[in-house]
A and B are shown apart, each in its own frame.
Chain A
Amino acid sequence: EAGVTQFPSHSVIEKGQTVTLRCDPISGHDNLYWYRRVMGKEIKFLLHFVKESKQDESGMPNNRFLAERTGGTYSTLKVQPAELEDSGVYFCASSRDREETQYFGPGTRLLVL
């Protein structure tokens, strides 16, 4: 069974540009989560999808961040326009049920210059 995959693995962009991160969850996992780790701090929750619906987006920092999961399969997280403080590692995780273990992808390392 393939794990959670994320693309790209690294992204370096300039302030004001747009970046789109992609996450492919484990097949059959209805629950998809986005998390972010900034400057070696704790990993923070961003949002949670159940299939294509946003279950909880209370962790999204501001309206420059837009997450979608059309069709309930892969998800994208767009940052537009990117700011310096958006730099960090963005993790995606998935689980079959809400009560089950969340499996994480390798992360996308975003650097905004």
Chain B
Amino acid sequence: DQQVKQNSPSLSVQEGRISILNCDYTNSMFDYFLWYKKYPAEGPTFLISISSIKDKNEDGRFTVFLNKSAKHLSLHIVPSQPGDSAVYFCAAITSGSRLTFGEGTQLTVNP
């Protein structure tokens, strides 16, 4: 029973364009959502988060949108840069503090 799903295993975009990574969840008890970025042979690195009481959080080139009614969140990266190429994991958390991850989306930004 996978509670967080990232249905796109890969995404390829051109440098300078927008990257949109999507994530769906099924557990309505999740109250905090996070995006992690992972390079090969490294651990996940925290990127940006959003509380369930908000619908948008922005940090530089990165914006996360949350649609609670649809149980959907997305990460927008604009403009995309080649250094953004990595695996992006969506994660959700309840008050118990354990992270529940999606399977990840491999983003490739082409120069």
Do the two chains belong together in a single complex?
yes
Residues of A within 8 A of B99 (CB): 33, 35, 43, 45, 93, 102
Residue of A nearest to B5 (CB): A42
Indicate whether A107 sits within 8 Å of B43 (C-beta atoms), given known contacts A41-B103, A42-B4, A42-B103. yes
Considering the chains assembled together, what is the distance between the CA atoms of A9 and B67 in angstroms? 39
A105 CB within 8 Å of chain B? yes
Contact (Cβ within 8 A) A56 B103 = no
- Assembly CA distance A108 to B70 (angstroms): 36
Contact assessment for A59 and B42 in the assembled complex, using a CB-CB cutoff below 8 Å: no
Report chain A residues within 8 Å CB of B98: 33, 45, 48, 56, 59
List A contacts of B88 (CB < 8 A).
none
The size of the chain B interface, using a CB distance under 8 A, is 22
Does B96 count as interface, using CB distance less than 8 angstroms? yes
B49 an interface residue at 8 Å Cβ cutoff? yes
Chain A nearest CB from B89 CB (Å) reads: 7
State A103–B46 Cα separation when bound (angstroms).
7
Asked whether A98 is an interface residue with its Cβ less than 8 Å from the other chain, the reply is yes
Pair A56/B102 contact, Cβ less than 8 Å? no
CB distance from A88 to the nearest CB of B (A): 13
Whether a CB of chain B sits under 8 angstroms from the CB of A4 is yes
Q: Which residue on chain A has the smallest CB distance to residue B90?
A: A42
Q: How far is the CB of B48 from chain A (nearest CB, A)?
A: 10
A8 to chain B, nearest CB (A): 13
Contact between A42 and B44 (Cβ–Cβ < 8 Å)?
no
Complex interface: chain A residues within 8 A of B103 (CB): 40-42
What residues of B have a CB within 8 angstroms of the CB of A98 in the complex?
97
